[in-house]
């Protein structure tokens, strides 16, 4: 049994998950191999790889890889297709299934990357291709610790503020972004088999303890570097648009009301701004300094 820590939780796994931080004092989550019923129900959603879903468990499946069952915020059961190399499994387990498990535990999950600046977490939202990971990577080059990439888990139940739980030390980068951050793409492993995106392990400068969320930036391309504060209603729309799971899974798991309540609380608790910048990797260092200066003001 392997032991890891991620999102403030102790994870015990029968499968090796090398991207996670080793060691855990608690056993909050168990990840194990087992048989998964692959019955398809009326709640199936091909876009989200869902076979079936209800209030207690969600079953996912990937062609030629396998299926996994996420149960009650405590367990992920993995059923591997015959002949599949177990080393291919971690990227599948640690994105959608783990995000669903965190959602089951009552956390608000955003598609975001984040770093630490001045003792608080700065998060970057945006559609796919807007440069969330690249922006976090550029700030990391200035010495700011990485908190998460792709899946941001927020605890909004505490009345004192919004708490961010760090994930694991890696960035998911397109080849051109990897080059702009000083890495040769061919030296980095793919996120998934045959994927263009690459995994860059963060060997130093990873935040390991929870911190308060200070700022959310919604990334957009524009002609100049500029920041536009969003009103609460606009902020709510953006954070719910870039959150997980989507409406079909929310309906199937009967968690839509709870998620929207958390989104509204977040929009009223934390500053949310639109961050526009030129669509050019040559201006990446300017963007990083711009965010750095804004965070210090």
* Average pLDDT in the chain: 92
The two structure tokens encoding residue 185:
């793409």
The two structure tokens encoding residue 193:
């088999």
**In the prediction, which pLDDT does 178 show?**
93
> CA-CA distance, 282 to 125, in Å (whole number)?
21
**In the prediction, which pLDDT does 14 show?**
93
**In the prediction, which pLDDT does 173 show?**
93
**In the prediction, which pLDDT does 153 show?**
96
Angle of helix 256-269 relative to helix 232-241, nearest 10 degrees? 130
> Is the CA virtual torsion 228, 152, 138, 118 positive or negative?
positive
pLDDT grade for 297, boundaries at 50, 70 and 90: low
Cis peptide before 245 (omega within 30 of 0): yes
For the question of whether the overall pTM of this predicted structure is more than 0.75, the answer is yes
pLDDT tens-digit map of 223-265 = 999 999 999 999 999 999 999 999 999 999 999 999 999 999 9
pLDDT grade for 296, boundaries at 50, 70 and 90: confident
Does residue 122 surpass a pLDDT of 70? Answer: yes
Question: 118's torsion region: left (phi>0), alpha (psi -120 to 50) or beta?
Answer: left
**In the prediction, which pLDDT does 87 show?**
77
**In the prediction, which pLDDT does 116 show?**
97
List, in order of start, the domains of the chain with CATH numbers: 2-104 (no CATH), 108-296 (3.40.50)
pLDDT tens-digit map of 26-85 = 899 999 999 999 989 988 888 789 999 999 999 999 988 899 999 999 999 999 888 888
CA-wise closest residue to 63 among 87, 42, 43, 38: 38
Does residue 199 surpass a pLDDT of 70? Answer: yes
pLDDT tens-digit map of 147-156 = 999 899 999 9
pLDDT grade for 103, boundaries at 50, 70 and 90: very high
Q: Residue 36 in contact with residue 20, Cβ under 8 Å?
A: no
């Amino acid at each position: 049994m392997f032991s890891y820590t991620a999102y403030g939780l102790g994870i015990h796994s029968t499968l090796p998950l090398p991207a996670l931080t080793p060691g855990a004092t608690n056993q909050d989550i168990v990840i194990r191999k087992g048989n998964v019923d692959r019955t398809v129900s009326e709640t199936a959603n091909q876009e989200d790889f869902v076979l079936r879903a209800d209030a207690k468990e969600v079953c996912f499946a990937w062609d030629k890889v396998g299926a996994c069952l996420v149960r009650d915020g405590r367990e992920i059961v993995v059923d591997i297709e015959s002949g599949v190399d177990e080393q291919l499994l971690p990227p599948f387990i640690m994105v959608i299934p783990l995000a669903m498990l965190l959602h089951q535990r009552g956390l608000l999950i955003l598609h975001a990357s984040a770093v630490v600046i001045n003792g608080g977490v700065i998060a970057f939202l945006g559609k796919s291709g807007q440069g969330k990971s690249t922006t976090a990577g550029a700030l990391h080059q200035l010495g700011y610790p990485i908190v998460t990439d792709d899946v941001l888990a927020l605890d909004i139940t505490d009345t004192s503020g919004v708490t961010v739980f760090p994930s694991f030390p890696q960035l998911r980068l397109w080849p051109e972004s990897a080059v702009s951050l000083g890495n040769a793409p061919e030296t980095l492993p793919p996120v998934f088999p045959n994927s263009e995106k690459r995994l860059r392990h963060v060997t130093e400068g990873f935040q390991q303890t929870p911190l308060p969320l200070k700022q959310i930036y919604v990334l957009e391309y524009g002609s100049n570097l500029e920041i536009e504060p969003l009103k609460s209603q606009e902020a709510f729309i953006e954070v719910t648009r870039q959150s997980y799971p989507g409406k079909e899974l929310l309906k199937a798991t009967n968690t839509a009301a709870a998620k929207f309540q958390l989104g509204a609380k977040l929009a009223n608790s934390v500053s949310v701004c639109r961050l526009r910048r030129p669509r050019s990797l040559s201006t990446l260092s300017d963007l990083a300094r711009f965010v750095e200066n804004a965070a210090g003001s």
